[in-house]
A and B are shown apart, each in its own frame.
Chain A
Amino acid sequence: MNAVPIRRRLWRAFHRLGSPPYVYRLAGRLSPWLGVTSCVLLAVGAFWGLVLAPPDYLQGDSFRIIYIHVPSAYLSMGGYVLMAVAAAIGYIWRMKLAHGLAVCVAPLGAWFTALALVTGGIWGKPTWGTYWEWGDARLMFELLLLFLYIGYMVLRMSFDDREKADRVSALLAVVGVVNVPIIHYSVEWWTTLHQGPTLIREGGPSITMDMLIPLLIMLAGFSLFFGWLLCKRLQGEILRRESRTRWVRTLAAEAGA
């Protein structure tokens, strides 16, 4: 088969992602699938992790919060990278939908960061004897990540002009991305309280299969859940941005009728 048509088809698919009505419909079509799959995965993963998996030989049952904590922490960082990449695409190619995506990721990422901090504190009390340890680098930089999300949202809100808000806040999102590798490597650079990496490390994951499989299921479930919320938010954001266009008015008229 000739390679050119495939490339052309890919380009057409990429260009379509710049079209608000297309992305609106795409998000609408994806979201029920993401919603159902994520709920099933979360239910299976939670049951497996909280009930079936064996207790930890050192931490007993308290380790089970890992099934909430690790996926939240992973989404807090992954969300930031997604936001920064989308904002950079929006800035470089002046793609408004990419800015719209970045706007939608910010509050979700901030909530998952907050969740990671809270579950980390709850986990820290029985294992380290404290909810919060100022001396731990990973805790500090995760907190700074939350402040970066908040700064991004506040900066956006202080502009009256949406296009200017898009472009200026995109620069802040890109600058802040330096924080993400620092969080990831913080447990190797400064060894204080937080345990070292479990999944992404040299020599493979350091966790037994019985505990690893539910964790992976929860990671997938959380990611799809994030995607589901993102689709919903993106639809709303597109409608807000395109509220003056004919296709949105037609849509509203159909919904009202």
Chain B
Amino acid sequence: MVALPGRRRSRDPLAAEDAVAGWLFILPAVAIVGTFILWPILQVFWLSFHEWSVITPERPWVGLDNYRDLFNDADFQLALRNTIWFALGVVPTQTVLGLILAVLANQKIRGRSFFRTAFYFPSISSSVVISIIFLWLYAQRGLINFVLQKMGFPTPQPPWLSNPRGVVEMALNAVGIESVSVWLAGPSVALLSIMMMNIWTTMGTMMVVFLAGLQDIPGDVYEAASIDGASRRQQFFDITVPMLRPVIFFVLTLGFIGTFQVFDQIFVMTSGGPAKSTITLGYLIYQQGFGNFAMGYAAAIAVVLFAIIMSIFLIQRRILGRAD
């Protein structure tokens, strides 16, 4: 913490000098963060109360109109629904898979560093490049359909990324239950395809975080447990998982922030289609701001997205953060 220069000067002249030096040292960082992060964030809040077409200089004040419009906007509700499905599908899966991979890659097995690198590789690759590769994999005559056909499984029609049908609805229809509500139709086949790719990409990141957490658990705890006769399974659930609690909190937080903001993969792979079934909040902001000349409205969506992510973070901290 930097001391306030004015108050302390009389008592300790050196403290004032320290403060000035301190401010000078962090000035470049403050200037950069302020100009490129804080200022734009404040602008987004300010813009969300205005109407702005981007291409005209006029930005009339519209009060809460943008926010009021959100509640009647079918696209917003759809985007919110898609985003929630996306987060609920991706975050738990990538967390569990990341943990399993970390435990496996933490064993003393041959080629351990190879597996660690291989699993982490997707995370450090460009998301656009991965998206393009998966475009090919998911194509009608792509590798995934080829393998499915060879193994005698049916392939989705229309193909993966062009299929707007809800997967939960399809499953229910298959067992004879018709017409479920839109909220229960589940993510579309297209969205599910992107979710699977996202899980594959991010579980390596989560694995690395979990690996770091695993190294922090002292070996003598496991030793004591095995002397007491605890099985490997008991050790995992009663020692590893509880001791990883802060790490799990961190991974879940990262996961929810990442999934609620998902944009690049949607942009590259589907542009929100088919039938808007892959429109997420992040993509809707882009589409409204740059495709529909409604930057003020886009800003309002961004503020709502910020509020959602913030509340998820706070709720998580209440539930998981208490152990610290």
Is B one of A's binding partners? no
Show the binding face of A for B, using Cβ within 8 Å. Answer: none
